[in-house]
Amino acid sequence: MKKILILGSSGSIGVNTLNVVRKFPDKFKVVGLTVNSRIELLEQQIKEFRPEFVVVTNESKARELKSNIGNLCDVLSGNDELLKAASERDYDILLGAIVGFAGLQPTLEAIKRGKRIALANKETLVVAGEIVNKLVLEHNAEIIPVDSEHSAIYQCLVGENLNEVEKLILTASGGPFLNKDKSLFENVTVDEALNHPNWKMGNKVSIDSATMMNKGLEVIEAHWLFGLPVKKIEVVIHPQSIIHSMVQFVDGAIKAQLGLPDMKLPIQYALTFPERLQNDFKRTDLPVINALNFFKPDFDKFECLKLAFEVIKVGGTAPCILNAANEVAVEKFINKKIKFSQISQLINKALDKVENHSDPDIETIFECDKKTREFLMDAGF
Q: Does 122 participate in binding ligand NAD (rule CB under 6 A)?
A: yes
Count, residues near ligand NAD per rule CB under 6 A: 28
**Chain-centroid distance, C-alpha 246:** 19
From 117-125, 279-287, 291-299, 301-309, give the range in contact with ligand NAD by CB under 6 A: 117-125
57 binds ligand NAD (CB under 6 A): yes
The stretch among 34-42, 70-78, 232-240, 371-379 that binds ligand NAD (CB under 6 A) is 34-42
Q: Is the dihedral of CA 188, 192, 194, 196 positive or negative?
A: negative
CB of 111 to ligand NAD, least distance (A): 16
12 binds, among ligand NAD, Mg ion, none (CB under 5 to 8 A by kind): ligand NAD
Whole-angstrom distance, CA of residue 228 vs CA of residue 221: 10
Segment holding 326, helix H or strand E = helix 318-334
Report whether 171 contacts 147 (CB < 8 A). no
Footprint of Mg ion on 140-199 (CB under 5 A): 147-149
Rounded CA-CA distance 266/221 in Å is 16
Q: Which is nearer to ligand NAD, 10 or 364 (CB)?
A: 10
Residues 277-336 within binding reach of ligand NAD (CB under 6 A): none
Which residue in 263, 318, 320, 322 binds ligand NAD (CB under 6 A)? 263
Tell which positions 72-91 bind ligand NAD, by CB under 6 A.
82
Q: Which of 219, 217, 213, 212 is nearest to 176 (CA)?
A: 212
Q: Which is nearer to ligand NAD, 9 or 357 (CB)?
A: 9
For residue 36, give the 3-state DSSP assignment: coil
Other Cβ atoms closer than 10 A to 13:
27
Exposure letters 315-331 (e unless 16+ CB within 10 A, then b): ebbbbbbbbbbbbbbbe
> Binding mask 166-205 vs ligand NAD (x if CB under 6 A, - otherwise)?
---------------------------------x-xxxxx
Is position 210 an interface residue for ligand NAD (rule: CB under 6 A)? Answer: no
3 state DSSP class of 140: coil
Query: Interface with Mg ion includes 109 (CB under 5 A)?
Result: no
Q: For residue 256, list its beta bridge partners.
A: 246
Is residue 81 part of the contact set for Mg ion (CB under 5 A)?
no
From the CB of 360, what's the least distance to Mg ion, in Å? 26
99 binds, among ligand NAD, Mg ion, none (CB under 5 to 8 A by kind): ligand NAD
Q: Please give the single-letter amino acid code of residue 57.
A: T
Residues across the chain: 381
Task: Give me the residue whose beta carbon is nearest to ligand NAD.
Answer: 11
| Chain position whose Cβ is nearest to Mg ion | 147
Nearest to 326 by CA among 101, 104, 147, 134: 101
Least separation in angstroms between residue 277's CB and ligand NAD is: 21
Are 346 and 325 in contact by the 8 Å Cβ rule? The answer is yes
Give the containing element (helix H, strand E) for 34. Answer: strand 28-35
Q: Judged by CB under 6 A, which of 5, 14, 21, 174 binds ligand NAD? A: 14
Is 221 among the residues that bind Mg ion (CB under 5 A)?
A: no
Query: Which residues are CB-contacts of 284 (< 8 A; sequence separation ≥ 6)?
Result: 242, 258, 259, 260
Q: Residues in the site for ligand NAD, rule: CB under 6 A?
A: 8-14, 35-36, 38, 57, 82, 97-99, 102, 120-123, 147, 199, 201-205, 263
Q: Which residues bind Mg ion (CB under 5 A)?
A: 147-149
